[in-house]
C-alpha cells in the first residue's frame, strides 16, 4: 500500500503541466515604507546647498592668492598675503557649517533607503576634504612660512589642491546624481 502511494506521487509529479497553465506569479515586492524626516530637513538642505555654491568663488580666490604667494614669495601683493588667511578663515567657516548641516541631515535621513550609498559616499569624501583643509591650514600653513627647502610649501599646496578637487568632485557627484 505504501509502495503504491509512493508510486502514484512520483507519477503525478513527473507529469508536465498543460501548456495553457499560466506560470506562477512572482511574489509581490515589498513597498518601501514611508519615512518621515523633520521639518527642518529641507531648510538645512537649502542652507547646505547655498553654502556649497559659495565655496566656488572662495576656492577661486584662494587659488589666485596662493598662486601669487607661490610665485612671488614675500614680495607678493598685500591682497594675496592677507587675503589668503581671510579666505582660509572663510572656507573654514563654510566647511564647519556645511559639515554640521550635512551630518545633521545625514542623521535625520538615516532610515531613508533610497540614495543611502550616494549620501554616505558624499559624507565620507567631504570629511576627507575637511581633514585635508584642516591639515593644510592648521599645520602646514605655519610650517610652510618657515620652510627654507620648499618641501612644506609644496605639501601645503598639494594637500589644499587635492582637498579642493575632492570637494568639487563630491559636490558635482551630488548635484548631478542625486535624484
- Average pLDDT of the segment spanning 131-153: 91
Q: In this structure, is residue 12 part of a structural domain?
A: no
Q: In this structure, is residue 117 part of a structural domain?
A: yes
Q: In this structure, is residue 23 part of a structural domain?
A: no
Range of the domain at 85: 41-177
Q: In this structure, is residue 61 part of a structural domain?
A: yes
pLDDT single digits (tens) 70-113: 999 889 999 999 999 999 999 999 999 999 999 999 999 999 99
Confidence of residue 54 (pLDDT cuts 50, 70, 90): very high
Q: In this structure, is residue 21 part of a structural domain?
A: no
Q: In this structure, is residue 101 part of a structural domain?
A: yes
Confidence of residue 20 (pLDDT cuts 50, 70, 90): confident
- The domain tally of the chain equals 1
Residue 46 has pLDDT above 80, yes or no: yes
Q: For position 26, what pLDDT does the model report?
A: 82
* CA–CA dist 104, 124 (Å, integer): 14
* CA–CA dist 102, 123 (Å, integer): 8
Q: In this structure, is residue 53 part of a structural domain?
A: yes
Q: In this structure, is residue 152 part of a structural domain?
A: yes
* CA–CA dist 49, 105 (Å, integer): 12
Q: How far is CA 61 from CA 46, 58, 162, 163, in A?
A: 24, 5, 16, 15
Q: For position 11, what pLDDT does the model report?
A: 58
* CA–CA dist 152, 48 (Å, integer): 33
Amino acid at each position: 500500500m505504501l509502495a503504491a502511494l509512493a508510486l502514484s506521487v512520483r507519477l503525478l509529479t513527473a507529469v508536465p503541466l498543460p501548456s495553457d497553465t499560466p506560470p506562477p506569479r512572482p511574489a509581490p515586492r515589498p513597498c518601501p515604507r514611508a519615512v518621515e524626516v523633520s521639518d527642518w530637513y529641507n531648510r538645512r538642505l537649502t542652507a547646505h546647498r547655498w553654502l556649497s555654491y559659495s565655496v566656488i568663488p572662495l576656492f577661486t580666490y584662494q587659488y589666485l592668492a596662493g598662486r601669487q604667494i607661490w610665485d612671488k614669495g614675500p614680495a607678493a601683493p598685500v591682497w594675496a598675503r592677507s587675503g589668503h588667511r581671510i579666505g582660509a578663515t572663510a572656507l573654514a567657516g563654510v566647511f564647519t557649517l556645511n559639515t554640521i548641516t550635512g551630518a545633521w541631515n545625514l542623521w535625520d535621513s538615516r532610515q531613508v533607503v533610497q540614495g543611502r550609498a550616494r549620501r554616505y559616499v558624499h559624507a565620507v569624501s567631504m570629511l576627507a576634504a575637511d581633514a585635508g583643509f584642516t591639515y593644510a591650514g592648521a599645520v602646514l600653513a605655519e610650517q610652510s612660512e618657515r620652510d627654507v627647502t620648499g618641501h612644506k610649501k609644496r605639501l601645503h599646496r598639494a594637500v589644499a589642491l587635492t582637498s579642493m578637487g575632492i570637494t568639487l568632485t563630491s559636490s558635482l557627484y551630488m548635484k548631478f546624481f542625486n535624484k
